[in-house]
Amino acid sequence: MDIITGILATAVLAGGVLALAALGEVLAERVGVFNLGVEGLMALGGVTGIIAVTIIPNPFFGFAMALVVGLVFGAIFALATVTFRANQVLCGLALTMLGSGLAVTVGKPYSGMPAKAQFDKVIIPYLSDLPILGRALFSQNILVYLIYLIIPAVISFVLFRTRHGMNVRAVGENPAAADSAGIPVTLIRFTYVTIGAALGAGAGAYLTLAFVPSWSDGVVAGRGWIAVALVIFAGYRPFWAVFGALLFGVITALGFVGQARNWPIAPPFLSMLPYLGTIAAMILPVFVWKRLRLSFTAPAGLGIPYFRDER
């Protein structure tokens, strides 16, 4: 029983990183912008969080500063891809290189030091006493509750239950039609890409302030890319993205448990599991649930810059 609780608790904690980054990417892709810079944004957010708590030892301050840095770099990315309409794949890769390079350069003096402040566990009374699930689900840091429940609920509600959300989705599906209906395409794209980027950077701060908790060179380790893959796997739906992230949390947790219990598999092979699992998750559903994939297709306008004069 203890081992299951342990795996679940780690899975929830580890999955939170992917979930928050994937939620940010859902926002960007829903308005039709493919942001491949998540990896770089996470690195920037992670290092910002660590530096901020070194100055003021409060995890909320660290997380907030990471969001601000995410907004700034998200605005730069949105300026390039939405306002200037530059190639999204290139700008995304550029943002990943710029962000990762900058974060490692700036973070050098902080590398390997434990975080000066980190998110504490918030134990929910009664629920946390439940057998097996209690400690795994209801004795986590506050961000976990935000990431798994509140943020996806807000995004789902706005996207699927409000008029504004319908406009937002229209911008991602068919920007030309949205434009002729009077919806401000550029403004909506710019706003959502920027907010999405802030969540990506927030995921980085979660990584360094709640999960690891410290900064080192390769700490992001491709999680940004796994988050991008998750969004496709989740069919661009917020709660599916969170659920997918939890699945990957389980895979990551299995790797940790394997190392701790000396399973006869070398640690590098256990570390490969999340990447191999992601690839499997991208390929298998196409064969298994063909019908499901139809309703899980990407927004029709994804990846295509919108030019009014070429309508």
Partner 1 sequence: MALHFVRSPVVSSARALTARVIGFVLALGLGALVLGIAGFDSLHLGRQIIVKSLGSQFGLEDLGLLYTPLLLTGLAVTVMARMGLWNIGADGQFYLGAFVTTAIGLFIKGPEPFMLVLMFFAGAAGGALWILVPTLAKAYAKVDEIITTLLLNFVALLLVYYVATGPWRDRVSGTTASTGRVPYKMPDFFGSLHWGFVIALAAPILFALALRYTKWGYEVRLSGANPDAAHYAGIPVRRRLITIMLLSGAIAGIAGMLEVAGTVHRLQGGISNNYGYLGVMVAVLARGSALGVIAGAFLMALILNAGIILQTQGLTTSAVLALTGLIMLFTAIADQFAHYRLVRPRAATA
Binding site for partner 1 (CB under 8 A): 36, 40, 76, 80, 84-87, 89-91, 93-105, 108, 217, 221-222, 225-226, 228-229, 232, 266, 268-269, 271-272, 275-276, 278-279, 282-283, 286-287, 307, 309-310
Question: Reduced to 3 states, what is the DSSP secondary structure of residue 301?
Answer: coil
Question: 3-state DSSP: the chain helix, strand, coil percent, rounded to 5?
Answer: 75, 5, 25
Measured from the CB atom, is 128 or 186 closer to partner 1? 186
Measured from the CB atom, is 86 or 122 closer to partner 1? 86
Measured from the CB atom, is 95 or 241 closer to partner 1? 95
Tokens of 171: 């911008």
Shortest Å distance, C-beta 6 to partner 1: 24
Nearest to 49 by CA among 279, 296, 219: 219
Shortest Å distance, C-beta 258 to partner 1: 14
Shortest Å distance, C-beta 165 to partner 1: 26
d(CA 49, CA 67): 9
Residue type, 137: L
Shortest Å distance, C-beta 158 to partner 1: 27
Shortest Å distance, C-beta 196 to partner 1: 17
Tell me the CA distances in angstroms from 46 to 52, 65, 114, 217, one per residue in order.
Answer: 10, 10, 13, 11
Element (H, E) at 141: strand 139-141
Measured from the CB atom, is 55 or 279 closer to partner 1? 279
Measured from the CB atom, is 105 or 295 closer to partner 1? 105
Shortest Å distance, C-beta 5 to partner 1: 28
d(CA 179, CA 176): 5
Tokens of 213: 């908790």
